[in-house]
Every structure is written in structure tokens, then in C-alpha cells.
Homo-oligomer: A and B are copies of this chain.
Amino acid sequence: MPGFKKVVLGHGSGGRLSRELVEQVFLKSFSNSALRLLEDSAEVKLGGLTLAFTTDSYVVTPVEFPGADIGRVAVCGTVNDLAVKGARPAALSAGFILEEGFPADLLLRITASMRRAAREAGVNIVTGDTKVVEKGKADGIFINTSGVGLIPAGRSLTSAQVKSGDVIIVSGGLADHGVAVMNARSKLGLEGGIKSDAAPLNGLIESALRSPGVRAMRDITRGGFATVLNEVSGACGLSAVVEENSVPVSPATANACAMLGLDPMYVANEGKIALFVAPAAAERVLKALRSHRYGRKAAIVGRMIKEKKPQVRLNTSIGGSRVMLMLEGEQLPRIC
């Protein structure tokens, strides 16, 4: 039996409880080599090709918020899960669960937004499904997107192959998405025009991969940057050491986080990736990222190092140092 009796919100956080659910239920039931890696996409060998395959369901509330909506997030999230594995997105699916009474005009706005995001990513939504449940049995709209992509021969990006000395790069300012959704949900009226960063990053990622040296990439979504670092540290057995001063967070978002008691290291993004790069390649990769519209604020933020007991550590702006664990509990439910 699993170590819990009932599902709690934290099981959907992307953090430690999600990890427990995956290990105690899904890995136990479905165990196979592709799933065990727990990367953003699974690799599937088929007819001599290496495919990437990924799925995500989206339950974000409200469904529209500054900068994006559930449809844009659903398309970008799945495109990015493919792209961080080095895959070129080939096709997306869209599965809708609608609550009876959902307004047709809102549905059409959401699907139009999906189309725009898919077009920007250069991929088609080729197959779909719709289920409708009675009023009160769902919350408006839930969307699942799955995606298939082709990983070009010779490309291999996995967290396990990150090496000591590798440089950690983030592709831009953190925490905008989570703060924008919270602001819209709670009608906090925060100033500064904070918008969700939801964006398809396959173009940015192709730029970064043009020069060799990128060993792994992760999509920084639920659980935030701290959780991604913990996952990568766990997979490669190295410590991640990050300089707080180097981590880009916009002033408006930093202020909002301070007001809300949120740590930007744990807040979800929908258009940011972490890259783990061989030291000799770091400046070249940084330059490539910065030359793309979605990577202008990319920054080197830390390093992977070999230590007896691997951990994720933040050297703070006031000269201290603290260990960052995976996200505990659930600070921002239904953020994606």
C-alpha cells in the first residue's frame, strides 16, 4: 500500500509529495525503463528513430490571466517538454474535459489561443477528444495535451549525464507565471503588469543546441527552479550550487513574491528552462540564448559540483547559504 490514505493537493504540486505519489503508485504499477527516468519526455525507440513522447493535463484557474490562458499554457507546456529533450515537436493531441454549461465563446477563445501557440511552435494539433461532465463535476475546463517529437540522431540530453563543473543557466526571469495566475485568481491587484511567461521554447532551444556542450535541459514548471535542481541533482549524483544574486527575477515579480510570502525559487514558470552546460560551452550557449526573444535575460546562475552528500544549495545575497529541498506541500495549487 502507498504511504498515504487519500490524495491531497500537494500530490499535484510537482514537489516532494508528487514524487512520492509517482514512486508509490505509478512507478510501482507501470515500471519500465523509459518511465523510470522521470524526465520531461520519455524516449521511445521506433523503427530506427528516437521519439520523445510526453503528456500533461492542465487545470489552471482562472482559465484566463495576464499574458496567457489555459490553452496557451497547455500547448507551450507540452512543446517545451519535448524540446528540452532535444526533440523537434511533430504533433500534438488535445483532450478536453468540459463542465456542462461551459460558455461556447470562452471555449473558442481558448482553442484560438491554442492554435496561435501551436502555430508559433510550428506544430499541428492532429487528434483530439472531448468529454462533457455534469455541472458541478468538473471546474469549467481541463485540457490534456500530449506530444510526439523526433530527437535527431546523435542528440542525447538526460539529467544523468550532467558532470561536475557543469554550468547552470536559466533562460530568463523566474516566477512570472505563478505570480500572474495568483494575482488574477485572488484579485490581489498587484502592480507592475506581471504577465505569465507562457511561450513555446523550441526555437530558443534549437538555438542553444546549435553549439555542442548542453548536457541536459529541464522545463521549470510546477515546483519551480529549486525542484528542478533537486531532480537533476538526484539523477546525476552531484550538488547544485546557485548564486542568488545571479538568478534573474524581475523587480515587480520579486516584490510580489515578498508581499505574498512566496519564494521565486519554488514558483512555476511556463516559458523558462534550466540548462546544464559543459563549462567551455557556457558563454557560447548563453550568447545563443540571449539572441532569442525568449532568452534575452538568460543568465549563468551556478554550478554542479561533486560532494560527498549531494545537495542543492543557494548562496544568498546577504552572504549566507541555505539548502533548497524539493517543494514541500502545495503553496500554489492549480497553477498549470
Contact = CB atoms under 8 A, between A and B. Distances in A.
B94 A55 contact: yes
A contacts with B: majority SS: mixed
A53 B94 CA distance: 11
A104 B53 contact: no
B108 A1 contact: yes
A101 interface: yes
A293 interface: no
Interface centre among A29, A47, A97, A137 (most CB of B within 10 A): A29
Contacts of A142: 57, 97, 131, 138, 142
B57 A104 contact: no
Contact of A46 (B18, B55, B90, B94): B90
A83 to B, nearest CB: 15
Chain A interface size, under 10 / 10 to 19 / 20 to 34 / 35 or more: 35 or more
Contacts of A56: 95, 129
A9 B146 contact: no
A253 B242 CA distance: 65
A130 B59 CA distance: 10
A133 B99 CA distance: 14
Given A30-B111, A49-B46, A111-B30, A95 B146 contact: yes
Given A5-B103, A7-B104, A21-B130, 13 more contacts: A2-B107, A7-B107, A7-B132, A26-B128, A28-B108, A29-B112, A35-B124, A55-B95, A55-B128, A57-B95, A57-B131, A59-B133, A146-B146
7 contacts: A8-B100, A21-B130, A29-B111, A30-B128, A41-B127, A51-B148, A53-B91
